[in-house]
Amino acid sequence: MISDTISEREIEIPVGTRVLRGTLSLPTAPEGVVVFAHGSGSGRMSPRNRYVSGVLRDAGLATLLIDLLEEDEELDRRNVFDIPLLARRVQAAADWLRRERETAQLGLGVFGASTGAAAALVAAAWNRTDVRAVVSRGGRPDLAWEELPAVAAPTLLIVGSQDREVLSLNRGALALLVCPRKLEVIQGATHLFPEPGALEEVARLARDWFLAYLPRSGVACPLR
């Protein structure tokens, strides 16, 4: 399905004394909804995740780009690596989507980058029945090591071949995951995928993974 009509609105999600701000984009008759878990201090304005989000929306998937940390929280670098904190925020976003009329019945996916990928995996481990797919872009799954065997959602790990340390960590994560899983290595790409065509390949792989697993008619085994 290719969507030609997209509605977009800014949202706020109360979390204790904090408020998470995000952008919800809804194509006509969406096939699923994907929460973006940003990492290393980036937020919903990240140009890389906004690009991937646009590709997903064009394919008929709703997206929620959300700031997992408020501005003052970002000043403390410890928060960027506080994976349980970030995972609770991802969970709060998922719970909010379940309460909204437009998204309550949609299959839920999470797209995580860097430390946000660890938060996405922990949230999936905590919410085995709700999260239906996870995609990690240049992720740090080592920060979710103990939770990886509990992840049930089909998980796609995307890493650049020149991002050698992160690639090694993702290979280790692949061995710990027991859910349907796959590692895609983009040749010649570094950590942020700035090379020509690299981010486009990330977006294509993520789109195909989510379209395979989020719709009610999605497949039951990993793509080959």
Given this model, what pLDDT does residue 221 score? Answer: 37
Whether residue 30 is contained in a domain is answered as: yes
Whether residue 220 is contained in a domain is answered as: no
CA atoms within 13 A on the CB side of 193: 24
How many independent structural domains does the chain possess?
1
Whether residue 221 is contained in a domain is answered as: no
CATH of the domain at 61: 3.40.50.1820
Whether residue 199 is contained in a domain is answered as: yes
Q: How far apart are CA 29 and CA 87, in angstroms?
A: 28
Q: How far apart are CA 176 and CA 116, in angstroms?
A: 19
Could you give phi then psi for residue 216, rounded to 5 degrees? -60, -25
Q: Average pLDDT in the 128-152 region? A: 96
Per DSSP bridges, beta strands 108-113 and 181-186 are unpaired
Helix then strand count (H, E) for the chain reads 7, 8
Q: Residue 192: which of 143, 142, 138 has the closest Cα?
A: 138
Which segment of 73-82, 184-193, 212-221 scores lowest on mean pLDDT?
A: 212-221
Percentage of residues in the chain having pLDDT higher than 70: 92
Tell me the per-residue pLDDT of 147-203, one tens digit each, with 9 for 90 and over.
Answer: 999 999 999 999 999 999 999 999 999 999 999 999 999 999 999 999 999 999 999
Burial bucket for residue 221 (CB in 10 Å: 0-12, 13-18, 19+)? exposed
Amino acid 212 reads A
Range of the domain at 92: 6-213
Tell me the per-residue pLDDT of 12-62, one tens digit each, with 9 for 90 and over.
Answer: 999 999 999 999 999 999 999 999 998 665 667 778 889 999 999 999 999
**Predicted confidence (pLDDT) at residue 3 exceeds the cutoff of 90:** no
Given this model, what pLDDT does residue 42 score? Answer: 60
Whether residue 219 is contained in a domain is answered as: no
Whether residue 1 is contained in a domain is answered as: no
Given this model, what pLDDT does residue 74 score? Answer: 83
By the 8 A CB rule, do 120 and 111 touch?
Answer: yes
Whether residue 94 is contained in a domain is answered as: yes
Contacts of residue 148, defined as CB under 8 A and 6 or more positions apart, other chains included, come to 121, 125, 141, 173, 176, 177
Q: Average pLDDT in the 133-146 region? A: 96
